[in-house]
Copies of this chain bind each other. A is one copy, B any other.
Amino acid sequence: MILWKTLFFSSPTKIIFGKGTEHQVGSEVKNYSSKVLFCYGGGSIKKSGLYDKVVNSLKEAEIEFIELSGVKPNPRLSLVQEGIKLCRENNIDFILAVGGGSVIDTAKAIAMGVPYDGNVWDFFVGRAKLERALPVGVILTIPATGSEASDATVITNENGWFKIGFHHDLIRPKFAIMNPELTYTLPNYQTACGVADIMAHVMERYFTNVKGVDLTDRFCEATLKTVINNVRIVLKDPTNYNARAEIMWAGTIAHNDLLSTGRIGDWASHKIEHELSAIYDIAHGAGLAIIFPAWMKYVYKHDINRFVQFAVRVWDVNLAYENLEDIALEGIRRMTEFFKAIGLPVTLKEAGISDDRFEEMANKCTDNGNKKIGNFIKLGKEDVINIYKLAK
């Protein structure tokens, strides 16, 4: 039995949650800077009126800003480098991200790159150690990645389409402004993708070999049940404040490392999915809805009891305990049905992805077969190919 590992936890990001909180952005930023990079995606924040609110709040607080727009899903290194250049040219010392995970991750990577002499990609491939980063603040518009309070950023290098994550406490945002009303206009598909991402962040942590982590097990189950119940409400009633609030807060909790305390997560499914979305530019959440059931079918025999707990406590499976395998499989089946019910693809075919690049992707995520991924079970290149095949 593996005992509780040593646990470090600190969640310093100041969460400012509720209706109208976006109007506080100027006064929050003012604590750090009076000249910022205002980073966002496409036109959606202009259409919704959020852009104007941010600009007004910054102006009221007498904060100068330079804009960097055009952040895309699976955010690109080239835009990060453009942002770094802009900051240096304009003596900017704070990055404000207004948007979802891609915008926040871009902001974090810019924050890492500005005070560093070399290429910011060095950090992602382990060629440099992060020692300083500019402070980042967030107004969140899409609950999904949890980047608003996490220590992570995931960037795609177009030169070879490598999508790699980086973790460091220095890049946790200083504040995250979260108004559930800002998510009312999200299309259902994007809401569903966000939920799959949130659930994946929890499940990566849930499937662990560490025994006796009762409280975090229950917190994981609580978070999963909350998003499962509330997304059903939101898809029918997109302006339901309470349900939107539950999903938004669950998205933060799923990835601020509270649910990692005392345990070692898996993270193979994320890596396997990253190869998919790097090549095919499929939404990360949709990719996870495809990969997770396949991963589960491939590994569940490693710890049937854990999958039984998942089935019983999260999916209310109530079969006879004579056959634990049936219970475990029923849990996986219900999760898959749930993803379908909220409008997500659960096979590669449904996402229009053929089987001709499995080997290429498996090579990329296992360093040509030289590296194993995951912790629940260590997976090599052939395992990864088998999981892609199960997801066909």
A98 to chain B, nearest CB (A): 19
Contact code string A205-231 (vs B, CB < 8 Å = 1, else 0):
000000111110011011101100110
What are some 12 contacts across the A-B interface (CB < 8 A)?
Answer: A3-B241, A6-B17, A7-B16, A8-B17, A9-B14, A17-B262, A214-B226, A214-B230, A215-B223, A215-B226, A215-B249, A218-B226
A363 to chain B, nearest CB (A): 38
Q: Does A246 touch B at the CB level, under 8 Å?
A: yes
Task: Name the contact of A214 in the complex, choosing from B6, B8, B14, B246 (C-beta under 8 A).
Answer: B246
Whether A258 lies near B258 (C-beta < 8 A) is yes
Residue of B at shortest CB range from A242?
B212
A183 to chain B, nearest CB (A): 13
Contact of A16 with B12 at beta-carbon distance under 8 Å, contacts A226-B215, A250-B215, A258-B258 already known: no
Residue of B at shortest CB range from A174?
B10
A312 to B148, CA, bound (A): 34
Q: How many residues of A contact B (CB 8 A)?
A: 44
Residue of B at shortest CB range from A229?
B214
A38 to chain B, nearest CB (A): 24
Q: Does A70 touch B at the CB level, under 8 Å?
A: no
Contact code string A1-41 (vs B, CB < 8 Å = 1, else 0):
00111111111111111110100000000000000000000
Q: Does A133 touch B at the CB level, under 8 Å?
A: no
Whether B3 lies near A9 (C-beta < 8 A) is no
Instruction: Kindly list chain B residues whose C-beta atoms are within 8 Å of the C-beta of A261.
Output: 15, 17, 249
Whether A218 lies near B214 (C-beta < 8 A) is no
Instruction: Kindly list chain B residues whose C-beta atoms are within 8 Å of the C-beta of A222.
Output: 215, 218-219, 221-222
Most buried by B among A21, A225, A243, A262: A262
A226 to B218, CA, bound (A): 8
Whether B6 lies near A19 (C-beta < 8 A) is yes
Having A6-B17, A215-B253, A219-B222, one finds 17 other A-B pairs with CB under 8 Å, namely A4-B17, A4-B18, A6-B19, A7-B15, A7-B17, A7-B18, A10-B12, A10-B13, A10-B14, A11-B11, A17-B262, A211-B242, A212-B243, A218-B221, A219-B219, A221-B222, A258-B258
A252 to B246, CA, bound (A): 23
Q: Does A245 touch B at the CB level, under 8 Å?
A: yes
A78 to B16, CA, bound (A): 38
Task: Name the contact of A15 in the complex, choosing from B5, B9, B211 (C-beta under 8 A).
Answer: B9
Whether A11 lies near B10 (C-beta < 8 A) is yes
A244 to chain B, nearest CB (A): 10
Instruction: Kindly list chain B residues whose C-beta atoms are within 8 Å of the C-beta of A225.
Output: 218
Residue of B at shortest CB range from A20?
B6
Contact code string A242-277 (vs B, CB < 8 Å = 1, else 0):
110110011001000010011000000000000000
Whether A245 lies near B262 (C-beta < 8 A) is yes
Contact of A15 with B4 at beta-carbon distance under 8 Å, contacts A214-B229, A222-B218, A249-B262 already known: no
Residue of B at shortest CB range from A14?
B10
A300 to chain B, nearest CB (A): 24
A218 to B76, CA, bound (A): 38
Whether A16 lies near B11 (C-beta < 8 A) is no
